[in-house]
Structure 1
Amino acid sequence: MSFIKVCPLDEIPADGAIAARLDDDTPIAVVRSGDGVYALDDLCSHAEVALTEGEVYDGTIECWLHGSCFDLRTGKPTNPPATRPVATYRVKVEDGDVYVSPAPAD
């Protein structure tokens, strides 16, 4: 499985997110929550606005527009109005850098 470097770990705020792009220009949110680092599509499946502009808490990221929350591990919505999940991506951290697999996780 291949991974691409997307950012240094210290660029991601604690319990926060930054926007990044995969090689094919897919926008992703790279998120820190507790000790975990996650990557998921940066577009809400309900309103197609950037999730990176929302809040990160309790293992979720909240869309700022209508309040849909998505589980950082699975991409599944945890409350309405979103009903469709967002894609998630495998992440690894090595030597202070964050790497993301360009293929969505199953």
Structure 2
Amino acid sequence: MSDAVRVAAVEDVEPGEALRISRDVMGTQDDVVLVRTEAGEFYALDNTCSHALASLAEGWVEDDCIECPLHAAAFSLETGEALSLPATEPVGTHAVEVRDGEVWVTPGSEKGDL
């Protein structure tokens, strides 16, 4: 497993918004989308929709999912599972920690693996 990477300050991501983090920063094959829910929880997923290769960071965050901007496929923030068609394959997830007002993502790990 990789080391955690500082990706943002908590205030950099408004509730209900998403931020694309470059694969160059993350050391991953895909960019990562960092999501902050309206409740203030952070999640990180692979950024590319498994259906049509669109950027999930350009989509919409609603409750516990993120919706692709191209065809409205929804993905679970918790598990990466495809929740609606046309997507049928999940996207990868990464563990997120908030430490002293900073957001850290561990590439290649799932939430709870830390």
Whether the TM-score (by the shorter chain) exceeds 0.5 is: yes
1:13 aligns with 2:14: yes
Structure 1 outlier segments of 4+, above 4 Å: none
1:1-106 matches, cutoff 5 A:
2-21=3-22, 22-24=26-28, 26-33=30-37, 34-105=39-110
RMSD: 1.5
Structure whose residues are more often strand by fraction = 1
TM-score (norm 1): 0.93
Deviation of 1:23 after TM superposition, in Å, equals 2.7
Q: Which moved more, 1:43-52 or 1:16-25?
A: 16-25
Cα distance between partner residues in 2 of 1:18 and 1:84: 22
Uncovered stretches (5+) of structure 1, i.e. residues with no partner: none
Q: Which moved more, 1:88-97 or 1:24-33?
A: 24-33
Deviation of 1:24 after TM superposition, in Å, equals 4.0
Cα distance between partner residues in 2 of 1:66 and 1:24: 25
Kindly, what percent of the aligned residue pairs are identical? 39
Cα distance between partner residues in 1 of 2:9 and 2:29: 19
Pair 84,24 (structure 1): closer, same or farther in 2 beyond 3 Å: closer
TM-score (norm 2): 0.87
Q: Tell me the secondary structure at the aligned position of residue 57 of structure 2.
A: helix
Cα distance between partner residues in 2 of 1:87 and 1:79: 16
Q: Tell me the secondary structure at the aligned position of residue 79 of structure 1.
A: coil
Cα distance between partner residues in 1 of 2:95 and 2:104: 8
